Structure 1
Amino acid sequence: MQNISRFISKNLFHHKDLTGYFEPVLQVFKPSWRSGYFRAQVKSIRVLCENALKITLKPERKWPIHTAGQHISLTTEQQGRLISRVFTIASGAKKLKETGLIDLVIRTHDKGNFTPYLGELAMNSWVNISEPMGEFIFDEQSNHTTLLAGGSGITPFIAMLDDLQANTQNHIHLLYYAKPNGHLMVEVLEKFMTALPNFSFELLHRSGHGSFTKYVSVEHTDELLVCGPEEMFIEAEKFCKSRQIPIRAEHFQAIRPTQSVNEAARFKVRLNHGDLEVSNQDSLLSEFQSHNKPVTYGCGMGICHQCQCLKKKGIVRDIRDGSLSDNSEELIQLCVTQAVTDLELEL
C-alpha cells in the first residue's frame, strides 16, 4: 500500500509523498511545516560580537536527540526561496533533555546570502532543521585528549565539554585559534574550567603564537581532535602522522568556480542513483532531461518548486539573477540553476 501511495504521489502530484502535495494547507496550521523536515522554534538570538550570533532553538519533540559534536542543516525561507546551511550544534544533549533547547553559534558574513538574514528572525518564528548528522564525537575512553579549534570550529568542542561529567578522568587541553579578540564563547570555556577539573585551554592567534605544534604535548596526547579551516587540518594531519598520534577531524573550506560562467565547460554531477556529466550552458533540469534522467518538475520557471532538490556539495548559478551559491548544502531548483563546479545532488 505504501508503494502505491508513493507511485501516485510521484506521478500525479510530483511529490515524494502525498503530505508534500498538501504542504501549503498544513502550513496554515503549522507554520514552516515541510515534508521531510523537522520544525524548530526560535527562542532567542544573541549577538556575541560584530559578526557572530548565538541562536537558541526549540526543536519539535519528535526530533532525534543528538550526540555532542554532530551538526544539522538549518533551512530558512528568504524571499520565497528555501536556503539551507550546515552548522554544528553548540550545546550538549544534556541541555536538550533538561530544557528542550539547542544552541547554534554562527559566524555571519555581510555579503553572504544566508547568514546576514539570521539576525532578522522573529522570536517564536519557525525554521526547519534536519536530523543530527556526523560522527565527530568525543571518545570518553581516552586518557589525554588535545582539542584544536579554529574560529567557529570551537562549536563542537563546546557541545562535547557541555556533556562531560565533572568526575571524568580524561585530561583535556584545548588550543583555540582565532583572530585577536575574535575568540567566541570564552566565558563558557572559563565556566568549564571550574566545572571540569581536568580541562584547560589556551587562546591563541597565528600572528602572535605561530604554529599549534609547539603547544601540543606529545607525551600527553592520546588523540587529537581538530575542527577548523582546511589549512589547519592539513598541518595537523602532517604533525600527527609524523608523531603517530591518532587524529579525527571536521574541517571546512571554500570552493571557487574554476571556469567563467560565460565560458563553456562540463562538470560531473554525482547523484544518489548514478553520475552524469552536464554543461554549464543550460539548466540542470534540461541537462537531466537530455540524459533521460527521471526527475520531477512542474512549471520549469522557478515558481512551483516541484523540481527542488538538495545540493550537498558544489557551486551553482541562479539563471534568474546570476548569483552564485557557496559550497554548503542548499535547496535548489533544477529549472533555474546551472552548474559552475562539480556537484553532488540528492534528488
Structure 2
Amino acid sequence: MKSFPFIYNEPREFLSSLQPKEWANFFLGELNPRFSVTATKAKVIEVKEETSDSKTIVLKPNWLWKGFASGQHVPVTVEIAGRRVTRFYSLSSHPNDKYLQITVKRQKGGLVSNFINQNIKKGDILELGEASGDFVLTKELPKDLLFLAGGSGITPIHSILRSLQTLNYTGKATLLYFVRSYDDIIFKSSFDSMQKNSNWLTVHYVFSDIPKEGYASGFLSKEILETYVPNLKSSSVYVCGPSPMQTKALSLLEGLPVKSELFLLPGQNVGKVKKEGTVDVFLTLSHKTIQVKGERSILEELEEQGIYPQSGCRMGICHTCVCKKQTGSITDLSNGETSQLGEENIQICVSRAESNLELEL
C-alpha cells in the first residue's frame, strides 16, 4: 500500500523509533525543559559573580538528582555550536542547601569554562550526571585538618568546610589558599563569615603575583607551612589545585595522611614534549587512520582534527574517556610511565602516543 511505505518496507526501523522513554522525554520537555524520565536536568536559578573571571551557577535539579557528598564533582553537559560537551566541576554548595552550586573559573583555552562564564544565564537548562569522587571527609574527623587550595581548587574545599560548620566540628582546621592577587579570592565573604562565627577555622591567603600588605606572598613552601601551620605534624591534609602545587605539596608532606584532587588546565600536561614526525592512530570502530604528533594528549590531538570522543574531566579523574588500546605504546601523563605494546585500557585525556596505535574508538 503506497500510503504506508515506511511501515511496510522498513518495519524494524519504524518499531525502533517507538521508544517510550524518548517519546516521554519529548512530551515532558515540551511541558517543562527540566522534566525528563532519563536525564538529570537542572534549571539555572541564579548566576553570581565571584571574581572577574569566575561565576557561581545556582541550579535546581529535577527529581532524578541523587545528591552528593561535600568534595565531590559532577559531570555538566552543555551544547556548544550544536555539539554536546561534558566537563566535570566540583560542587561548591553544601549537600543540604536548597539548591546546588557549581563555581566555574575561566581557563585560557577552556571551551566549556569560557562558555559558561559568557553565556549561561538565569532560566537556562544544564544536564548533570551523578556526583562522584573520593575527595571527601572521613567518617571519623581528625582533630587537626589542613586544607591547601590553589586557584579554582578552592571549590570542593569550600563545600567541605561548609560541612564541618554544619557538623559543629570541634577540632582545628587551617586553610591556606594560594591565588594570584586579593581580587582573585573566591568565596571570601563566605570564609569571613565562617571564621567570624566559629573558633575552629583559620584562613590564610597567599598571593603569588600581586603582593598585599598584611598577607603572605609566594608559592607553597616549607617556610610558609612552618609559619602558618604550627600543628602540621599532626594534621590530616586535603590538597586541591594545579599539578605543580600538588607535586610540591606531596614532597613537603611526605609521611602525613594526604587526600588530593588534581586538575590540569587546558593544554597543561605533565611531560609535554616536542617531537619530530608523526605517528598513526588507527580507530578500529571508525575505520579511520589519524596522524598525530604525539606531543600532547591523544584526546587533544584527535579533537584538533575534528574527532570528539566521549570525555569529561580531561584530567584523569572521571574515566569517561577510557578506551581499549589494542596495540602500540603510550605515556601516561599523570605519572610519566610508558606502557607496554600490548592490549590495555587507557584514558586518552592523560595519554600521549609514543608509537603507532590501534584504539577501540
Same fold judged by TM-score > 0.5?
Answer: yes
Equivalent residue number for residue 137 of structure 1: 136
Change in Cα spacing, 1:21 to 1:230, as seen in structure 2 (3 Å) is: farther
CA contact (8 A) 1:82 1:331 kept: no
Residue identity (%): 20
Change in Cα spacing, 1:19 to 1:211, as seen in structure 2 (3 Å) is: same
Matched, 1:152 2:166: no
CA distance in 2, matches of 1:346, 1:238: 37
| TM-score where L is the length of structure 1 | 0.70
Q: Which amino acid aligns with 2:181?
A: P
- Residue 167 of structure 1 and its aligned partner are, at CA, apart by 3.3
CA distance in 2, matches of 1:313, 1:33: 36
Equivalent residue number for residue 264 of structure 2: 253
Equivalent residue number for residue 163 of structure 2: 163
Report 1:32-181 matches (<5 A).
36-95=38-97, 99=98, 101-109=99-107, 111-119=109-117, 120-139=119-138, 140-164=140-164, 165=166, 167-181=168-182
Moved more, 163-172 or 75-84: 163-172
CA distance in 2, matches of 1:174, 1:33: 40
CA distance in 2, matches of 1:64, 1:346: 32
1:343 to 332, 348, 351: 348
CA distance in 1, matches of 2:284, 2:25: 26
Q: Which amino acid aligns with 1:213?
A: K
Change in Cα spacing, 1:262 to 1:211, as seen in structure 2 (3 Å) is: closer
Moved more, 195-204 or 166-175: 166-175
- Residue 210 of structure 1 and its aligned partner are, at CA, apart by 3.8
CA contact (8 A) 1:84 1:331 kept: no
Change in Cα spacing, 1:262 to 1:157, as seen in structure 2 (3 Å) is: same
CA contact (8 A) 1:226 1:249 kept: yes
- Residue 79 of structure 1 and its aligned partner are, at CA, apart by 2.3
Aligned length: 287
Q: Which consecutive residues of structure 1, in runs of 5 or more, have no partner in the other structure? A: 1-8, 267-277, 289-311, 335-339
- Residue 36 of structure 1 and its aligned partner are, at CA, apart by 5.0
Equivalent residue number for residue 303 of structure 2: 317
* Bigger relative CO (Cα 8 Å, ≥ 6 apart): 1
| Higher Rg of the two aligned structures | 2
RMSD: 4.0
Equivalent residue number for residue 279 of structure 2: 265
CA contact (8 A) 1:146 1:221 kept: no
Equivalent residue number for residue 238 of structure 2: 225
CA distance in 2, matches of 1:116, 1:41: 19
Aligned residue for 2:111, secondary structure, equals coil
Aligned residue for 2:47, secondary structure, equals strand
CA distance in 2, matches of 1:18, 1:145: 51
CA distance in 1, matches of 2:93, 2:86: 20
Change in Cα spacing, 1:179 to 1:260, as seen in structure 2 (3 Å) is: closer
CA distance in 1, matches of 2:23, 2:285: 23
- Residue 223 of structure 1 and its aligned partner are, at CA, apart by 0.8
- Residue 287 of structure 1 and its aligned partner are, at CA, apart by 4.3
Q: Which consecutive residues of structure 2, in runs of 5 or more, have no partner in the other structure? A: 1-11, 210-216, 290-296, 324-329, 332-346, 350-358
Equivalent residue number for residue 214 of structure 2: none
Report 1:281-320 matches (<5 A).
285-287=286-288, 314-315=299-300, 316-317=302-303, 319-320=305-306
Q: Which amino acid aligns with 2:259?
A: R
Change in Cα spacing, 1:22 to 1:62, as seen in structure 2 (3 Å) is: closer
2:250 to 234, 237, 245: 237
CA distance in 1, matches of 2:89, 2:264: 14
| TM-score where L is the length of structure 2 | 0.67
CA contact (8 A) 2:51 2:185 kept: no
